Amino acid sequence: LAKQHAFIRVHHNASAKNLGGAYRQGLQLARMHYLTHVNAKNDIMAEELSKIFACRKQADIVIPYHLNRNQRSLHRRWLSSGFTAMLNFLSGAKLSYYNHYILYPKKILQIESISTSSYAIQAEILINLLSLGHSFVEVGVNSNFVPDKQRFSRAFKLKNIWGVSRFLARQLRKTMLRKIFHKL
Q: Tell me the C-alpha distance between 69 and 143, whole Å.
A: 8
Q: Using CA atoms, how far apart are residues 51 and 49, in angstroms rounded to an integer?
A: 5
∠ CA 70-99-145, nearest 5°, is 35
pLDDT score, position 184: 56
Q: Which residues are CB-contacts of 29 (< 8 A; sequence separation ≥ 6)?
A: 9, 11
pLDDT tens, position by position, 116-148: 877 888 888 999 899 889 999 999 999 887 765
Q: Residues with Cβ < 8 Å from 24, sequence gap 6 or more?
A: 111, 114
Tell me what percent of the residues of the chain surpass a pLDDT of 90: 30
Q: What is the pLDDT of residues 74-122, one digit of tens each?
A: 888 898 899 999 999 888 899 999 989 999 999 998 776 778 877 888 8
Cβ-based neighbours of 159, under 8 Å, separated by 6 or more: 18, 118
